[in-house]
Amino acid sequence: MTTSRARKIGARLGAAACVLAAVLSTAGCGWGRTVAEKEAADAAGNGGSADATSCVDTSGSTIKVGFVNSLSGTMAISEQTVSDSLHMAVNEINAKGGVLGKKIEVVQQDGKSEPAVFAEKARTLIEKECVAAVFGGWTSSSRKAMLPVFEADNALLFYPLQYEGMEASPNIFYSGAAPNQQIVPALDYLKEKGYKKLFLVGSDYVFPQTANRVVKAYAEGNGMQVVGEEYTPMGSTDFTTIVNKLKFSGADAVVNTLNGDSNVAFFKEYKASGLKADTVPVISMSIAEEEVSAIGVDNVKDQLTAWNYYQTLDNAQNKTFVKNFKARYGQNRPTSDPMESAYTSVYLWKGMVEKAKSFDVDKVKAAADGVIFNAPEGKVKVDGENHHIYKTSYIGKIGTDKLIHTVWKSDGPIQPDPYLKTYDWAKSLSVEDSGTSN
């Protein structure tokens, strides 16, 4: 057996272990990159091997990219719109001549709301479809499952979602918010408004559990108290017990990290129990304009959200973006943070490739630092050291028009700090994360 083949097999075994952990463990692959993930990456050579053989074909007039989104399963309610915005970005770029003179050809895969399927489809896109880059994923479990695949094959994933942080891969670009660009501003806002007793509710997987470690550390360091913490399986629709605990917990605010269609059931039960936004507000990390309609605006009006983009943002780029999206997909279709972040990620990849003058992964990574795009959310910039993006933070309130309206914004784009190294109250988190790679 050749050394190269041995490395590949070892990496795939590591990837399989991560996928199994993501499926079986309530915390997916854990807090940041685990030992198993790092071993898988090391087996490929330095966490993203330049020795991995690429089959990307640049000889023709087209270049392939892959999309992997949940078009079925519990996450389809959220991920379909991401796929739509990715396709729109590619169509716009192709209409203007493509990338380095090549039109983009899209290969779409369905992650089926299952981390193991995401890893399988990612491998198919890289090794069989020979794509130059992959765009997609939503849940942190799906990203964790795909991470060792991309590192083993030295391929590129552009991940569009806000997430829990405590991770930085040489083969992933994170165009969604790091925790200091969403979670921390949300908590700063609650603190500023005088809320001190928090109830945490989330889906039972990586993002909510890790995000809530951040919330608890922040609360301890900022004179706040967590009075309840509840998790429910993905896709769960029974919130009777959880909402009853919330109602009698003494909480004056709720931090919501539920994902997918569980939000529908939670907010219906919340309303039925007599809880109201003006007395016990909910600030949500995963409810955007798309989900408001699915939940029912009467169930979520006046509730809060923390994001980096809203359809209602008043700038020229966003007005054009909203107009084009609605013209393509229907006037009743809203725009939202995850799909805007996905749309932006395609343009960032284009900027990196054009700066590198190459589709080669290592050259693209080397060229990434400082790449800028005037996105619908405002100007964003790539941090080449940690592969995250400078982003402006917004707190919004859900209106009766089914849109989200800004009630607070940061002074400008916030430098990404995925490990929260710049916050004294987060030092306990860095201790927990001491065994992971950044």
pLDDT at residue 11 greater than cutoff 90? no
pLDDT at residue 36 greater than cutoff 70? no
380 phi/psi in degrees, rounded to 5: -120, 155
Of 50 and 7, the one with more pLDDT: 50
Alpha helices by DSSP H, 273-336: 289-295, 297-300, 316-329
Report pLDDT digits (tens) over 384-429: 999 999 999 999 999 999 999 999 999 999 999 999 999 999 998 8
Q: Give the pLDDT score at 53.
A: 78
Q: Give the pLDDT score at 358.
A: 98
- Contact (Cβ atoms closer than 8 angstroms) between residue 408 and residue 395: yes
What is the percent of the chain where pLDDT is above 90?
81
Reported for 32-38, long-range contacts at CB under 8 A and 24+ positions apart, including other chains, are: 32/166, 32/167, 32/433, 32/436, 32/437, 32/438, 33/147, 33/167, 33/169, 33/436, 33/437, 34/435, 34/436, 35/435, 37/144, 37/147, 37/148, 38/436, 38/437
Q: Give the pLDDT score at 2.
A: 40
The mean pLDDT value for 214-229 works out to 98
H/E run at residue 86: helix 76-95
Going through 240-331 in order, the beta strands assigned E by DSSP cover: 253-257, 282-284, 304-307
Report pLDDT digits (tens) over 85-108: 999 999 999 999 999 999 999 999
For the entire predicted model, the pTM comes to: 0.85
- Contact (Cβ atoms closer than 8 angstroms) between residue 349 and residue 373: no
pLDDT at residue 8 greater than cutoff 60? no
The residue among 176, 85, 157, 160 whose CA lies nearest residue 391 is: 176
Q: Give the pLDDT score at 234.
A: 87
Residues in the chain: 438
Q: Give the pLDDT score at 328.
A: 98
Report pLDDT digits (tens) over 279-310: 999 999 999 998 898 899 999 999 999 999 99
Of 203 and 52, the one with more pLDDT: 203
Q: For the chain, list the domains and their CATH numbers.
A: 3-177+336-390 (3.40.50.2300), 180-309+393-432 (3.40.50.2300)
